[in-house]
Amino acid sequence: MMNTFFATNGTTDRIVAILVDTTGAPAAGLSASLRIQRQSDGQYLQSDDTWDASPSDDPTMTQTDSANMPGAYHFDFALPDAVDHYTVRIDGTASAHPRYLFGRLSATVDRDGDLKLARAMLANRQQQAIATGVVTVMDDDGTTPLITLTPTVDDTANPTLNILTPS
């Protein structure tokens, strides 16, 4: 089973795993590792925070608190600024059951910036150049352009619908 988690690009997010042994008891003291593959180019995260074409040096996970949270491990993943998707495999070693856990992490755009833009599109001053159809959405001050939308035709053979795209 693969779960997908969403995070904001450019931030550090904590990947957490609870590892248990074959009896279901928390598995403390493991040398759990993590394999993260970036989907845009197939590169793997190395333990020195660089990316490489082969998974030769997987980062290790840190045991969170062996006394109060046995079996809990984490890894703080500094997400790059680019929007991307990552496949994550956690290897709890042969002592963990199941040995491997899989997940998917999607680094999305800045949600605060998206909310600001959505609010501005609904409430702020907008200006349209009639001759070109270009729409400029102003920032909260009413004068600073926040985004410019340029209409493009969706089908040059049968131009029936204009779609606004950021420019």
Count other Cβ atoms within 10 Å, centred on residue 138. Answer: 16
**Nearest alpha-carbon partner for 10 in 88, 107, 147:** 107
Q: Are 151 and 163 in contact (CB under 8 A)?
A: yes
Give the chain's mean pLDDT.
79
Superfamily of domain 3-108: Immunoglobulins (2.60.40.10)
At which residue do the structure tokens 């082969």 appear? 54
Predicted TM-score (pTM) of the model is 0.61
Per-residue pLDDT for 1 more than 50? no
What is the percentage of the chain residues whose pLDDT exceeds 70? 78
Rounded Cα distance, 69 and 90, in Å:
18
Give me the residue spans of the domains in the chain: 3-108, 111-166
Alpha helix (H) ranges present in 50-126? 111-123
